[in-house]
Amino acid sequence: MKTELEKCMSGEWFDCHDGIFLEYKNRARELLTQYHALPYNRKTERYNVLKSLLGSIGANVSIGQPFICDYGRHIHIGDNVSVNMNCTFIDCNKIMIGNNVLIASNVQIYTSAHPVELSERLNPDWTPESKQYFCRTFARPVTIEDGCWIGGGVIILPGVTIGGGSVIGAGSVVTKDIPANSLAVGNPCRVIRKINQTD
């Protein structure tokens, strides 16, 4: 029988109030509190907190304050990455960010969602006394490949991969995969042209 964590990571419905997730959240909140208390110029200390918070982190990584994440441990960041202020990463499943990536302010990355149909969304086993959550949740990984630029206010939904070298225009809502070396904008986000690799 699968654990709730195993269900979560395999994209199945899982109980997001299971003890393991509450433990992950509590630890992340403690580390985020430490991170937000550090001044910008204390870069070594800030990096060390991120190293404890995240699943993995490369060299020359900057994450602006404030920063919000769910667990932290499912976020993996490569080298030469800038995440600007006020970003939210809901990392119930993996968020994989490659090398040489720019993420502007107010970007939201979601790996978790709920079924659309109400009959599926509500948990039939829930009671006010139960420790389970009243609705069903699933999570799918998000990948941002090398060399991408994610514009301000972009929302990336569960299961999306953004191909290497692509640019996502400000305010876009990315609902499906974007191929490599593409300029994509809008809600829903769509490719408007290819990007010359020599640019």
- Kindly give the interhelix angle for 19-37 and 43-53, rounded to the nearest 10 degrees: 180
User: 10 Å Cβ neighbour count for 48?
Assistant: 14
Residues annotated as part of the active site: 114
